[in-house]
Amino acid sequence: MKNPSGTSRKVLEEISILRQKIKELEQSEVIRKQTEEALLESEAKYRSVVESSLAGVFVIQDGRFRFVNTRWCEIFGYTYDEAVGKMSPRDLVHPDDKKIIEEDVRKRGSGETDHTESEMKAIRKDGTTIVVRVLSSLMSYKGRPASSGTIIDITEHRRVEEELAQKTALLEAQVNASPDGILILDKGKKVLQNQRLNDILKVPKDMTLNDDNETQTQLVKDLFKNPKGFYENASYVFRHPDESTHDELELKDGTVLDRYSGPVVGEDGKRYGRIWTFRDITERKRTEKALRRSESLLSQAMNLASVVYWESESEGMFTFNDRFYAFLGTTAEREGGYRMTREEYKKRFIHPEDRPCISQAWQVNAIESTPKSSLGFEHRIIRRDGEERYIVVKRTVVKDDSGRVISKYGINLDITKHKLAQQERERLISELQTALERVKTLSGLIPICSSCKKIRHDEGYWEQLEDYVRRHSHAEFSHSICPECARKLYPGLLD
């Protein structure tokens, strides 16, 4: 017979074990519930983060989308229900780029890599082609292999990049086509340097490929006649970054460069370095020198010829210069400036007796206005010092292609000496003609007595030679006796 107390003890032990297991199960359930709650909370937080992401987020398993966030739907134009479980990445990729996604799948599947990053063209629901950047990596989703990743729409970014590249290419083309040498520096480094500058300063090709400006400066400084001046300007602008400078430099080979420097400032006021331009003005300087010489020679010639210049941009108004006023014995300050009305000029400087003919000449001037017309007339002027002079005026009209008169210009030539010489010549000619007329009465055949030398005049009477000549000329006679007649009349007196 069994011992009842032993059986009871065994039952109690089993009950105790059962109670312990029940307690453990209860604790395990609490932990499970806590874990589930934690997972749900974590998933909610993850979903919140994913849904607020600026990138599209996706999960792919068995070749189908298993999850997409709101941003993904915005990028492609599909709803969550249209995409999840129904669409494959290949449904979105542009035909031109399907090889890209196939290569990414191969790399991840072969274990070559566990993540990929690619750019490709994709097609939205509305048929629009966009450019996206995709980052994808392997993961486990609901206990099975999958891949997840993010997708960013970079269409606008690419458009801006292409536009910027186009503008940059256009700018570089313009810079390289510029007749000026151009150099842009930022913080002492070369940002841009065109081919024209390389040609002007004979920069070696290998030096053009790096951004080291200091080495280049050391090399080219010996090309200049005044290297110190070259450096001083550069030093000045580095100490005064907001200022612009302009100067001229001469190379040892005679080349003259026009140098400009100024800050490069954006619309926002931010400074992006400094630009330097170098223009070869050698030919211009030679032309200017030749022009100055020609102007000097012309001025000397005009001075020698007593010629002064004037302009008339509109009817009734003259423009004079200092030489013109000096010709009139006055100054621009005294006359109130370099412009003067026609009537005021006539009142101040034209001889009163010649003013009517001048008014008539100006009327002709207003009518005859062809480009080749030239009006020339003489008149007298009265200088400020009261001296009277004779001048001849000539003018020419300039017109544009439409026939509109642009300006009239002319010269005044001082002919006073010529005029006075002409008047003197006319006086001498008149006096000579008068004298000739008087001498003319003694010309021709004159009947004279061969013995007494009396002359027979037109009335048939004879008169003494002295009386005849005196009557027909201004000659007077003084009487004397020659030696031969004296010996004949007074023999022995002169012996």
> Which has the closest alpha carbon to 277: 181, 194, 191?
181
Identify the domain containing residue 333 by its residue range. 295-418
Domain count, the chain: 4
Angle at 244 (CA atoms; ends 243, 250), nearest 5 degrees: 135
224 forms bridges with which residues in the sheet?
Answer: 251
Instruction: Tell me what pLDDT residue 123 has.
Output: 94
Instruction: Tell me what pLDDT residue 281 has.
Output: 92
Contacts of 453 (CB under 8 A, 6+ apart): 465
Report if residue 21 sits inside a domain. no
> What is the rounded distance in angstroms from the CA atom of residue 154 to the CA atom of residue 132?
5
Report if residue 169 sits inside a domain. no
Instruction: Tell me what pLDDT residue 87 has.
Output: 93
Instruction: Tell me what pLDDT residue 7 has.
Output: 63
Is the torsion defined by CA of 95, 99, 100, 106 positive or negative?
positive
Report if residue 401 sits inside a domain. yes
Report if residue 446 sits inside a domain. yes
Instruction: Tell me what pLDDT residue 377 has.
Output: 77
Can you tell me which residue has the tokens 């940002």? 191
pLDDT, averaged per 10 consecutive residues of the chain (495 residues), comes to 59 70 66 56 58 84 91 93 92 92 84 87 94 90 87 91 86 84 88 90 86 85 85 82 90 92 87 90 88 71 66 77 88 90 88 86 62 64 90 79 76 84 86 69 71 77 78 73 76 63
Report if residue 427 sits inside a domain. no
Instruction: Tell me what pLDDT residue 372 has.
Output: 45
> Which has the closest alpha carbon to 224: 188, 264, 253, 258?
253
User: Are residues 126 and 67 part of one domain?
Assistant: yes
User: Are residues 62 and 113 part of one domain?
Assistant: yes
User: Are residues 196 and 120 part of one domain?
Assistant: no
> What is the rounded distance in angstroms from the CA atom of residue 285 to the CA atom of residue 264?
29
Residue 99 CA to its chain's centroid (Å): 52
> Which has the closest alpha carbon to 307: 213, 392, 210, 409?
392
CATH number at residue 364: 3.30.450.20
Instruction: Tell me what pLDDT residue 134 has.
Output: 92
User: Are residues 182 and 135 part of one domain?
Assistant: no
Report if residue 308 sits inside a domain. yes
User: Are residues 231 and 208 part of one domain?
Assistant: yes
> Which has the closest alpha carbon to 468: 437, 432, 477?
477
User: Are residues 186 and 148 part of one domain?
Assistant: no
pTM higher than the cut 0.75: no
From 285, 318, 349, give the residue that closes a domain: 285
Report if residue 173 sits inside a domain. no
From 402, 418, 434, give the residue that closes a domain: 418
Strand 455-456 relative to strand 405-414, pairing: unpaired
Which token pair is 169? 């290419």
Per-residue pLDDT tens for 214-240?
888 888 888 888 888 787 877 888 888
User: Are residues 413 and 306 part of one domain?
Assistant: yes
Instruction: Tell me what pLDDT residue 36 has.
Output: 53
Distance between terminal CA atoms of the chain? 235
Instruction: Tell me what pLDDT residue 234 has.
Output: 78
> What is the rounded distance in angstroms from the CA atom of residue 278 to the CA atom of residue 245?
12
Report if residue 45 sits inside a domain. no
Contacts of 81 (CB under 8 A, 6+ apart): none
> What is the rounded distance in angstroms from the CA atom of residue 451 to the CA atom of residue 465?
12
From 154, 187, 204, give the residue that closes a domain: 154
> What is the rounded distance in angstroms from the CA atom of residue 139 to the CA atom of residue 141?
6
Strand 64-68 relative to strand 115-123, pairing: unpaired
Angle at 466 (CA atoms; ends 462, 470), nearest 5 degrees: 105
Is the torsion defined by CA of 363, 369, 373, 374 positive or negative?
positive
Instruction: Tell me what pLDDT residue 49 has.
Output: 62
Instruction: Tell me what pLDDT residue 110 has.
Output: 81
Residue 138: Cβ-neighbour burial (10 angstroms; 0-12, 13-18, 19+): middle
Q: What are the DSSP calls for 404-459, one per residue? A: -EEEEEEEEEE-HHHHHHHHHHHHHHHHHHHHHHHHHTT-S---B-TTT--EE-TT
261 forms bridges with which residues in the sheet?
Answer: 245, 276
